[in-house]
Amino acid sequence: MAFEFTDKNFKETALDGGNVAVVDFWAEWCGPCRLIGPIIEDLAKDFDGKALVGKVNVDENPETSMKYGVRSIPTILFIKDGEVVDKHVGTATKAALQGKLEGLLV
């Protein structure tokens, strides 16, 4: 299951972990977010133990959303060693996101 990032745990889990994190910014009312949700869940299972894959509900966690300038959802951030190294806005295929993630794990 995808990890649930919040304003309270974001720094310690996504930034300070010293690993790779994939963060999907989403909302319950967002149609494209619901389309990409199952892909994020699959990636969380596929990369369990290799990368932290999870979601941030923008309605419940406005601080983190504002800090990263998330204006459109879904927005997916790829974080490595505490730095945002890639960003994707909108829907995407599992293969596209998986390719980006695999590139960060090399």
Q: Domains of the chain: which residue ranges? A: 3-104
pLDDT at 106: 82
pLDDT at 19: 87
Q: Please state which CATH class domain 3-104 belongs to.
A: alpha beta
Which is nearest to 27 in space by CA: 68, 3, 59, 70?
59
30 assigned to active site: yes
Catalytic residue among 7, 9, 11, 30: 30
pLDDT at 71: 94
Which is nearest to 55 in space by CA: 74, 32, 81?
74
Catalytic residue among 14, 33, 39, 56: 33
CB 101 within 8 A of CB 50: no
ω into residue 32 within 30 of 0, thus cis?
Answer: no
How many C-alpha atoms does 30 have within 13 Å on its Cβ side? 21
43 assigned to active site: no
Which pTM value belongs to this model?
Answer: 0.95
Query: Digits of tens for pLDDT over the chain (106 positions)?
Result: 899 999 999 999 999 977 899 999 999 999 999 999 999 999 999 999 999 999 999 999 999 999 999 999 999 999 999 999 999 999 999 999 999 999 999 8
List the Cα angle 91/5/94 in 5-degree steps. 30
